[in-house]
Amino acid sequence: MECDQSLKTAAYLDGELDAGQALEAEQHLAGCPACRALKEQHETLRSAFGALPYHRAPSSLRRKFAQKLVRESPPFRRNGFWLGAGSGAGATALAAALAFFLLWPGDFLVNDLFEAHQRSLIGNHLIDVASSDRHTVKPWFAGHADVSPPAVNFAAQGYTLVGGRADYVNGTRAAVVVYRHGAHVINLYSWADRGQALPRARARNGYRMLFWKEGDLDFAAVSDTAPEELDAFAALVKKAGSGE
């Protein structure tokens, strides 16, 4: 039987809830078999996507695929589908097929991070625990995230630790260590490595994302600071993680 909280649970699994609502959803999940089953299905689907190799199709191939869909779709739906006026299962299936073809697993992760970063900048979503002391921030993640990330204050180098929060990225609970660099926010995401290949550096709407692995963790640094400044920050985190 479907739970009346299933929509809220789905929003939680997609990382669309703030910290307070996410906590309520987690508490509900602990006692609801139907929503736990929904969570398992969600994680299975995410894992399946994550296990696929990431290759971006060249634009010429994507154009050919789109043209083929147009040629093979029913004549009375061709214009409507591509102009947004199509309806029915056929058009929906074609849209899903095209989205799956054009949006590879690495893009799902990039979308997750971009949306999570934007959410963090709205209202009071940026920080759940506010402190520049690593001995306060790092222990806070126990019980709030599935990993224990490094939380080093690089204030001397211009990257000041200001706190942390829990978020939901890549189908799992992630830890986010938050830094200030001048007027810019840097979100340092980390989550348990599941053997998934990470994308290369990406940029979207003025935000840059860097990805790397360290031990059993995957990392992503996201900010609108200058590219060379984000590179320098990532180098500091990597150096601290390696114990150099």
At residue 243, the pLDDT reads 55
Cα–chain center distance at 192: 13
What is the pLDDT of the chain when averaged over all its residues? 79
Q: pLDDT band at 210, cuts 50/70/90?
A: very high
Fold observed for domain 105-242: Phosphorylase Kinase; domain 1 (3.30.200)
Q: Which of 70-79, 110-119, 149-158, 178-187 has the lowest mean pLDDT?
A: 70-79
Confidence band for 84, pLDDT divided at 50, 70 and 90: very low
pLDDT at 106: 53
Mean pLDDT of the 118-137 span: 91
pLDDT greater at residue 16 or residue 183:
183
Q: What is the DSSP string of 104-147?
A: -HHHHHHHHHHHHHHHHTSTT-S-SEE-S-HHHHHHHTBTTBSS
Candidates 71, 39, 74; CA nearest to 172 is 39
Higher per-residue pLDDT: 18 or 96? 18
- Mean pLDDT throughout 181-186? 96
CA distances from 170 to 25, 163, 196, 219, 241 (A): 18, 22, 10, 11, 22
Confidence of residue 77 (pLDDT cuts 50, 70, 90): very low
Domain boundaries, the chain: 6-51, 59-102, 105-242
DSSP states of the chain: ---TTHHHHHHHHTT-S-HHHHHHHHHHHHT-HHHHHHHHHHHHHHHHHHHSPP-PPPHHHHHHHHHHHHHHS-HHHHHHHHHT---SHHHHHHHHHHHHHHS-HHHHHHHHHHHHHHHHTSTT-S-SEE-S-HHHHHHHTBTTBSS------BGGGTBEEEEEEEEEETTEEEEEEEEEETTEEEEEEEEE--SPPPP--EEETTEEEEEEEETTEEEEEEESS-HHHHHHHHHHHHHHHHT-
Is-contact 183 222, C-beta < 8 A? no
Task: Assess whether pLDDT exceeds 60 at residue 70.
Answer: no
- Residue 103 pLDDT class (50, 70, 90 cuts): very low
Say what the pLDDT of residue 78 is.
45
